[in-house]
Amino acid sequence: MNSRETLLHLSLIEGIGPTAITSLIANKPLNTTWNTLYDFSLSEWRIMGVSQKRAELFYEGLKDRSALDRELEIIHREGIQWATLIDDNYPQQLLTIHSPPPVIFWRGDLSFSKAVSIVGSRDANLYGERCVQSIVPELVAHGFCIVSGGALGADTMAHRAALKAGGKTIVVLGSGILQPAPKTNIRLFETILESGGAIISSFMSMEGAHPHNFPARNRIISGLSQGVVVVQAAQKSGTRITAQYALDQGRDVFAFPGSIDDQLSTGCHALIQQGAKLIMSPQDILSECGVVQSDLSEVQSVIRFDNLAKVRHANSNESGDSSGKSQIHKAVLSLCVSAQSIDTLAKECGASLSEMQNELFEMQMGGMIEQDFSGMWKRL
């Protein structure tokens, strides 16, 4: 048993949260190794400044190693990467927030130098899509990783825009690594990993996507970033909670304005009233993040399009030759000689909207079709 496994064990104890473990790390005597905690009596826990209730939870929880053994077996079998607060590979950005998650699990490449989070409503519409598309290419070109929560709506728009621009994007799950949600975005998550991004979680590998998990997920989204961009949010929403976490963590908060009679703009307008910066262009974000406006350098452009080429190559390899393409794929190519809406394509192809969204995304990444600002799809 090593120190990081002991911290993992502590995080598995029901009733013990990040604050308790952070406090334990701060107050543990220098001459006390993590392994010796297994031999502590209740009185020794109390001597370390732990409350009676927490002392009992620690004492009883460390007696049972079954949950730890089960989690370690899954981690090793599935090749999941993980880090604790005392490890060098723990995300440095998260160390700056109050009570960071004791353990982080991930797949993919979690390294990045700077990031911006983009969050918004699951009901984000075409206007939200236009907002996302108006800022992501420039953020990517200036080396920013795009962080979001992998949900439908604005989150999905942000991840896909980053991929389309040849950039890096990270999904923060509200569930375990082996239970990614929503299921309709599984293919998107796979593409993110293939393109050099990452999927991370603070929950045990098999944890489901329960509503009470999302506040913790949202703290990580804002904690990983220099700033949080809000794209369409209702007055009362999880998106506004994420923005509040960002403010509490000392991060910049940005919001897109919208129509005064649009319920998806009320949350953004309230944030702007409270001091969030109104976005009119990517430079509004870049300037706050210390980037001076300038034309993209040739090197940046080469990197950007080289990354995009890699994504397209990966998708083209999956597609194979024309004889192996799906009937939906062939039908889309035929129909999109002229501009078509997703509803029309789904109806003509006999596909569900979810199936059509995934097919259009893959074909877009493969450079076969494109979407204009009115939301219509056309063959390239």
Class of the CATH domain delimited by 107-288: alpha beta
pLDDT at 318: 44
In this predicted model, which residue has the larger pLDDT, 249 or 303?
249
Q: Are 256 and 231 in contact (CB under 8 A)?
A: yes
How far is residue 362 from each of residues 182, 314, 356, 368, measured CA to CA in Å?
18, 10, 10, 9
Segment 5-20 shows an average pLDDT of 93
Tell me how far apart the alpha carbons of residues 150 and 81 are, in angstroms, rounded to a whole number.
19
> Cα 274 to chain center, whole Å?
25
Closest by CA position to 1, among listed 84, 46, 65, 60: 65
How far is CA 158 from each of CA 90, 131, 134, 255, rounded to the nearest angstrom?
25, 10, 11, 14
Whole-angstrom Cα distance, residue 201 to residue 335? 40
Distance CA 209, CA 205 (A): 11
Q: What is the pTM of this model?
A: 0.78
The string of DSSP letters for 57-71 reads HHHHHTT--HHHHHH
Q: Cβ neighbours of residue 21 under 8 Å, at least 6 residues apart?
A: 7, 10, 11, 85, 102
- Out of 3.40.390.10, 1.10.10.10, 3.40.50.2300, 3.20.20.70, the CATH code matching 320-379 is 1.10.10.10
β-strand 277-278 against 252-255: which pairing, if any? Answer: parallel
Q: In the predicted model, what is the mean pLDDT of the chain?
A: 87
Q: Round to whole Å and give the CA distance between 380 and 372.
A: 11
Q: Is the pLDDT of residue 3 over 50?
A: yes
For residue 17, report the phi and psi dihedrals to the nearest 5 degrees: -110, -175
Tell me: pLDDT of 26 over 90: no
pLDDT in tens, 113-169: 999 999 999 999 999 999 999 999 999 999 999 999 999 999 999 999 999 999 999
The percent helix, strand, coil of the chain (3-state, each to 5) is 50, 10, 35
